[in-house]
């Protein structure tokens, strides 16, 4: 396992999933649903808000357009607590706009597999409390969804936020997305974690 830290706000969790893949295939029955090449990703980005993925947009564009890598993005919130400088939309309506804009922006550089966990946006720069963010998001439910997307995309590299407070990075939603991403990575290869995701289809005849 290698962890590389970028100079900006994202942490690069460059973790080879080859070992994970061998472990999964050796311990579990066929997944339900079976692996689907339409969703296979070389790189999976797990970002906290719409627009946070844009901090590494240059790298992602190069990965897709120059290196021909498959990239998928999971955004943990929809940014409904954000400020709107170009219109009057707020809350849920603003979230719909931000989700749409994120999908459109990423599709312009060839990234079409974009998923949202729809965790609440806590707007946590004033009081940064990662435990509050995780509690508000229903930690277990959000973790299960993150595990499902890692199993679905089967990435070689996961890119996410730092899970701990550092100088210049103290947003609780950012840290929560890093916590969930690292926990999901650890659990994705464990067939006893969220076993309904990897159970063989039931014979209903």
Selection from 70, 77, 75, 115 nearest residue 95 by Cα: 77
Entry pTM? 0.74
What phi and psi values does residue 118 have, to the nearest 5 degrees?
60, 35
Q: What is the DSSP letter of 42?
A: S
Rounded distance between C-alpha atoms, residue 203 and residue 155, angstroms: 30
Mean pLDDT of all residues in the chain? Answer: 76
> Per DSSP, which regions of the chain are E strands?
4-5, 10-13, 43-47, 71-77, 113-119, 157-161
Per-residue pLDDT reduced to its tens digit, 59-106: 999 999 999 999 999 999 877 666 655 555 566 677 788 889 899 999
Rounded distance between C-alpha atoms, residue 136 and residue 163, angstroms: 17
Rounded distance between C-alpha atoms, residue 54 and residue 47, angstroms: 10
Q: What is the pLDDT of residue 198?
A: 83
Q: What is the DSSP letter of 128?
A: -
Q: Which domains does the chain have, with CATH numbers?
A: 4-197 (3.40.50.10320)
Q: Quick count: other Cβ atoms within 10 Å of Cβ 57?
A: 15
Per-residue pLDDT reduced to its tens digit, 2-21: 333 343 444 444 444 433 44
Sheet containing 113-119: order of strands: 4-5, 10-13, 157-161, 43-47, 71-77, 113-119
The encoded tokens of residue 21 equal 């893949």
């Amino acid at each position: 396992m290698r962890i590389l830290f970028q100079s900006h706000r994202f942490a690069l969790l460059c973790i080879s999933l080859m070992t994970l893949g061998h472990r999964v295939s050796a311990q579990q029955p066929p997944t339900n649903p079976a692996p689907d090449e339409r969703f296979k990703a070389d790189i999976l980005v797990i970002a906290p808000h719409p627009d946070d993925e844009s901090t590494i947009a240059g790298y992602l564009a190069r990965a897709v357009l120059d290196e021909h890598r498959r990239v998928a993005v999971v955004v943990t919130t929809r940014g409904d607590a954000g400020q709107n400088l170009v219109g009057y939309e707020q809350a849920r309506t603003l979230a719909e706009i931000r989700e749409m804009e994120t999908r459109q922006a990423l599709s312009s550089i060839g990234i079409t597999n974009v998923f949202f966990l729809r965790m609440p946006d806590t707007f946590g720069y004033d009081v940064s409390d990662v435990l509050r963010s995780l509690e508000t998001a229903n930690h277990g439910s959000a973790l299960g969804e993150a595990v499902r997307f890692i199993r679905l995309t089967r990435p070689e590299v996961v890119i996410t936020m730092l899970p701990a407070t550092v100088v210049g990075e103290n947003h609780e939603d950012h840290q929560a997305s890093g916590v969930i991403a690292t926990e999901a990575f650890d659990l994705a290869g464990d067939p006893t974690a969220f076993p309904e995701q990897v159970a063989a289809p039931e014979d209903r005849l």
